[in-house]
Homo-oligomer: A and B are copies of this chain.
Amino acid sequence: MSLATAQSARGPAKRRFRDTQIEMAHGAGGKASRRLIDGLIAPHFANPVLDAMADAARLPFGGATLATTADGFVVKPLQFPGGSIGELAVNGTLNDLAVSGAKPLALMATFILEAGLDVAVLEREIAAMATAAGRAGVPIVGGDTKVVEHGMADGMYVSTFGIGTVDARVRLDPESIRPGDRVLLSGPIGDHGITILLARGELALEADLRSDTRSVWPYVEALLELCAADIRWMRDPTRGGVATALNELIDGSPYGIALFEEALPVNDMVRGACELLGLDVLHIANEGQFLAVVAPGAEDAALATLRAMPGGERATCIGEVRTEPRARVLGVSSFGGTRVIDMLVGDPLPRIC
């Protein structure tokens, strides 16, 4: 969760943060993270750019708009099926820019390394970052390295910073959503979170599952080419999952979101693991998907465009904006059942990214 995404310009006045100790849940991207950011960090840093609700900050510059984003990565283990901390750091930052409608210009990275870290591990991650950045055609233009004592950084932590230029056709604004708008999802959810959980080896579960980590910019770019003016809002549902992202969108809104639960693309192994572990797949982190709310008339062409791209075949409409329930996400099923879908509470999967 970025500092800014946690804030809703429309929400009620935020309550002061009253917890006395930091807990894992404060980093999980759900309600506790939101309380920390809204109640403690944002009031100190208050300024118009931060207060605008977005995945990246928007800075007017020289007739254009720059987007900048900052992300910390502490995923454990450092390497997992489908990716690793370095790849995640690059793709996560590219994705924050992408869902802000920004074409990436450059990345920077800081490394906090612990003494005793195997240099081969570091080099593997540096190479993974270079490969991910190269694939996206974005240079890594600088950074910093620090070393702390053995045991003080669990191998390594990476922070990445991205800068991009916002597509001039883009008008993303959570307040622009209207009843009838369609909620699109780029592909199956839960793969990243469940992959990390299984990679830790603490559960007697095995599955042939891979993180979905990837840059979503090519898909976003295709949508911008197709229908930039019809896109109301985008978000990559990382920590806290789709449920948290949609709740953040709708918090303080006069409208609600109906989520078609049966339409959610979920891989069988992810669904099975969630059932076994009592997890809601809507709260599981993703690292290669995005949500887009589009005007009703844009749905068919948008889905056709995404589905025509490799890796976009399972893009689908998972919900719509409705006049009610106000400021809520309501799960609906084809036989008429409903449930309120809330943000993530607690931290079932610590250090997921």
Contact = CB atoms under 8 A, between A and B. Distances in A.
Contacts of A157: 112, 146, 148, 153, 157
A21 B145 contact: no
Contact of A57 (B63, B112, B141): B141
A124 to B, nearest CB: 10
Contacts of A64: 61-62
A41 B145 contact: yes
Interface stretch (A115-123, A287-295, A304-312): A115-123
Contacts of A146: 27, 72-74, 157, 351
A110 interface: yes
A119 B21 contact: yes
Interface residues of A, number: 85
Interface in A133-158: 133, 139-149, 151-154, 157
A22 B70 contact: no
B149 A152 contact: no
Contacts of A63: 62
Contacts of A154: 148-149, 152
A198 interface: no
A145 B36 contact: yes
Given A22-B117, A44-B126, A62-B61, A112 B72 contact: yes
A349 interface: no
A350 interface: yes
Nearest to A159: B159
Contact of A108 (B25, B26, B70, B111): B70
Contact of A59 (B106, B145, B151): B106
Contacts of A4: 141-142
B2 A144 contact: yes
Interface string A94-123: 000000000001101111111111111011
A147 B61 contact: no
Contacts of A117: 21-22
Contact of A70 (B105, B122, B159): B159
A61 B163 CA distance: 11
A128 to B, nearest CB: 9
B118 A20 contact: yes
A161 B163 CA distance: 10
A143 B2 contact: yes
Nearest to A157: B112
A129 interface: yes
Nearest to A139: B47
A40 interface: yes
- Closest 5 A/B residue pairs (Cβ): A27-B147, A62-B62, A57-B141, A159-B159, A72-B110
19 contacts: A1-B145, A2-B144, A3-B109, A4-B141, A19-B119, A21-B115, A22-B114, A22-B147, A23-B115, A37-B145, A40-B119, A44-B123, A49-B139, A57-B142, A73-B146, A74-B112, A112-B112, A146-B351, A159-B159
